[in-house]
Structure 1
Amino acid sequence: MDKLKTFLLLTVSFLVLIPLFLFFIPVQKAVVFYHENTTKISAYLPIDSGETFQIIFTHSIHLSDVVEKYRITKDNKIEQYEIIFEQFGIGMPSNAEAGQEFVYEDGKYHIKNLNNVFESMNIRNGRTVSEHRLVWGENDQHMVWFNDYFSPGAWYTVKVEDLTLWKLMKGVKIHD
């Protein structure tokens, strides 16, 4: 009888503990888009430390693309390392700061070596000119339009997090 009780206890413990571990232990690093300033995951992009992604948007005044390049740090932060644009104007930098490099290549201005590190970022999907894009992967091979995942005019808090299976199930995986 003691063997049966021990077996049942071990079986029940196993059946209860394994799902708990599966749902609450981080399994995937991701760039996570939270709806506004909430804990509601709208979408996530699986990514690893050191990998890069870009956010491209069409400037609402001069209507040319602006490319912001980011990399994921080992401590789950977002580092902006470059910005590329075609025209100077409202909201655009006019020169590089100390330690940065300002170059003109292929008809575009590049500010390199930015080293801007963020715990999180707030990003608004364009309302008037809604042409935001997310680019990632080796040689920037993947691209999606924000409008495929986010409402025009809506804003999101973007963070890098190690997600559990439970959180992965709550959001929409971004893929091309």
Structure 2
Amino acid sequence: MKLPKLILPLLIALLLLLILLFVPFRTALVFYKENTSTVEALLPIKQGETFQIIFKHSIHLTDVVEKYKITSDLNIQQYEFVYEEFGIGMPSNAEEGETFEYIDGKYYIKNMSNIFPTMNIRNGKTVSEHRLVWGTEENEEAHMVWFNDYFEPGAWFTVKVERLSLWDYLKGVKIHE
């Protein structure tokens, strides 16, 4: 049986469209609502790129900066922690292999190698001043958004780096300045 000449090109076009829509093509930092598969927001990001989560400590009301890097196997590596005051939840020293420094009124824990396949993050409720910063490497312009522009105060998320298809990418809310 011979197919009409138009069917073969249509089948090829349909196959290419399906591949384009459903084959992962881009990596992103994905914020899933709580412990579900519902994408609340996503930030396009590549291996080796960095981002920061800055939050206002609810007791001493100073900024705490957590710095992360995307590893080659799409995990999240915490490499630095910066804060201004000791208190509840703040480390008092560095772990083995890390360095602890006090520079210009801030405490730095550097050379961290904490690896996370996922992270659970809560947007502040009482003191809701969480921020996401990316593009802070040399020769890149830094970008910052407030969590409250994307998430309800008090909401929590599972965050991980994933390869997304165009379909997944179009379904999520893209984080941008």
TM-score class, shorter:
over 0.9
In structure 2, how many angstroms separate the alpha carbons of the residues matched to 1:41 and 1:89? 34
Which whole-Å deviations, capped at 9, do the CAs of 1:37-67 have from their partners, x for residues lacking one? 0101100001110000000000001100000
1:54 match: 52
Q: What percentage of residue pairs aligned between the two structures are identical?
A: 64
- Aligned residue among 49, 55, 77 for 1:79: 77
Gaps of 5+ in 1: none
Q: Structure 2, unaligned stretches of length 5 or more?
A: none
- Displacement of 1:7: 2.4
Residue of structure 2 equivalent to 1:40: 38
Q: Is the 8 A contact 2:81 2:108 kept in 1?
A: yes
Q: Which structure shows the bigger proportion of residues in helix conformation?
A: 1
TM-score between the two structures when normalised by the length of structure 1: 0.95
User: Contact (CA 8 Å) 2:51, 2:136: kept in 1 or not?
Assistant: no
The aligned amino acid for 1:151 is E
1:15: Cα distance to partner?
Answer: 2.9
Letter aligned with residue 145 of structure 2: V
2:6 paired residue number: 8
Q: Which amino acid aligns with 2:21?
A: F
> Which residue does 1:160 correspond to in 2?
161
* Aligned counterparts of 1:7 and 1:108: Cα–Cα separation in 2: 71
Helix, strand or coil for the counterpart of 2:5? helix
Count residues in correspondence: 174
Cα-Cα RMSD = 1.3
- Check conservation: 2:131, 2:146, Cα contact below 8 A: yes
The question of whether the paired residues in 1 share the 8 Å contact of 2:131 and 2:145 is answered with yes
Q: Quick one: structure 1 residues 64 and 138, their matched pair in 2 at CA, closer, same or farther if it must change by over 3 Å?
A: closer
Query: Whole-Å Cα distance in 2 between the matches of residues 7 and 61 of structure 1?
Result: 72
TM (norm. structure 2) is: 0.94
1:97 match: 95
Instruction: Report the alpha carbon displacement of residue 6 of structure 1 after superposing the two structures with TM.
Output: 5.4
Answer yes or no: is the 8 Å Cα contact 2:63–2:84 preserved in 1: yes
Distance 1:83 1:157 in 2: 20
